[in-house]
A and B are shown apart, each in its own frame.
Chain A
Amino acid sequence: MHPAPSVIFFTVFSGIGFGLLVFLGLDTFYVTGWTAFVFFAIAYLCAVGGLIASTFHLGHPERAMKAFTQWRSSWLSREGVCAVVALVLMGIYGAGVVFLQVHWAILGHLGALFSLLTVFTTSMIYTQLTTIPRWNSWLTPLMFMSFSLAGGALLSGNVGSATVLILVAALIQIVLWLRGDGALARSGTTLATATGLGHIGDVRAFEPPHTGTNYLLKEFAYVVGRKHSTKLRIISIVLFAVIPVALLVFAPFSHLLAALAVVSHVAGAFATRWLFFAEAEHVVGLYYGKR
Chain B
Amino acid sequence: MTTLPTSTTKKLGLVIDLDTCVGCHACVISCKGWNTENYGAPLSDTDAYGGDPSGTFLNRVHSFEVQPPVLKDQPAPEAQLIHFPKSCLHCEDAPCVTVCPTGASYKRVEDGIVLVNESDCIGCGLCAWACPYGAREMDAVEKVMKKCTLCVDRIYNENLPEEDREPACVRTCPAGARHFGDFADPDSNVSKLTAERGGMDLMPEQGTKPVNKYLPPRPKDTLSEGAGDIDILAPYLEPVAQEAKGFLGWLDKTLEKL
Q: Which A residues contact B (CB, under 8 angstroms)?
A: 1, 57-61, 63-64, 66-70, 72-77, 80, 125, 128-132, 187-189, 191, 193-197, 199-216, 219-220, 282-284, 287-288
Which residue on A lies nearest to B121, using beta carbons?
Answer: A60
> Would you call B3 and A72 a contact (CB within 8 A)?
yes
> For A72, A188, A197, which residue has the most chain B Cβ atoms within 10 angstroms?
A197
> Would you call B67 and A61 a contact (CB within 8 A)?
no
Beyond the given A215-B140, A219-B128, A284-B132, could you list 7 further A-B residue pairs with CB under 8 A, ordered by the A residue number?
A63-B121, A73-B2, A74-B2, A74-B99, A125-B126, A204-B65, A207-B62
> Would you call B67 and A284 a contact (CB within 8 A)?
no
Sampled A-B contacts (27; CB under 8 Å): A60-B123, A60-B143, A60-B144, A73-B3, A73-B99, A76-B100, A76-B101, A130-B207, A131-B95, A193-B202, A193-B203, A193-B205, A195-B64, A195-B82, A197-B82, A197-B217, A200-B80, A201-B67, A203-B65, A204-B65, A208-B62, A209-B86, A210-B60, A212-B54, A215-B54, A215-B137, A283-B203
CB contacts under 8 Å to A, within B128-145, are: 128-134, 137-138, 140, 142-144
Q: How far is the CB of A209 from chain B (nearest CB, A)?
A: 4
Expressed in whole angstroms, the Cα–Cα distance for A195 and B52 within the complex equals: 28
Which chain B residues lie closer than 8 Å to A215 at the CB level? 54, 56, 128, 137-138, 140
B: contact size bracket = 35 or more
Contact for A194 among B28, B53, B143, B203, CB less than 8 A: B203
Q: How far is the CB of A73 from chain B (nearest CB, A)?
A: 5
Q: Which B residues contact A (CB, under 8 angstroms)?
A: 1-3, 18, 25, 28, 52-57, 60-69, 77, 79-82, 84, 86, 95, 98-104, 120-126, 128-134, 137-138, 140, 142-144, 200-207, 214, 216-217
Which chain A residues lie closer than 8 Å to B60 at the CB level? 209-210, 214
> Would you call B64 and A219 a contact (CB within 8 A)?
no
> Would you call A219 and B130 a contact (CB within 8 A)?
no
Which chain A residues lie closer than 8 Å to B81 at the CB level? 206
Q: How far is the CB of B145 from chain A (nearest CB, A)?
A: 8
> Would you call B63 and A207 a contact (CB within 8 A)?
yes
Contact for B67 among A76, A132, A202, CB less than 8 A: A202
7 A-B pairs with least C-beta separation: A59-B123, A59-B143, A209-B60, A284-B134, A201-B68, A66-B102, A77-B101
Which chain B residues lie closer than 8 Å to A187 at the CB level? 205
Which residue on A lies nearest to B70, using beta carbons?
Answer: A201
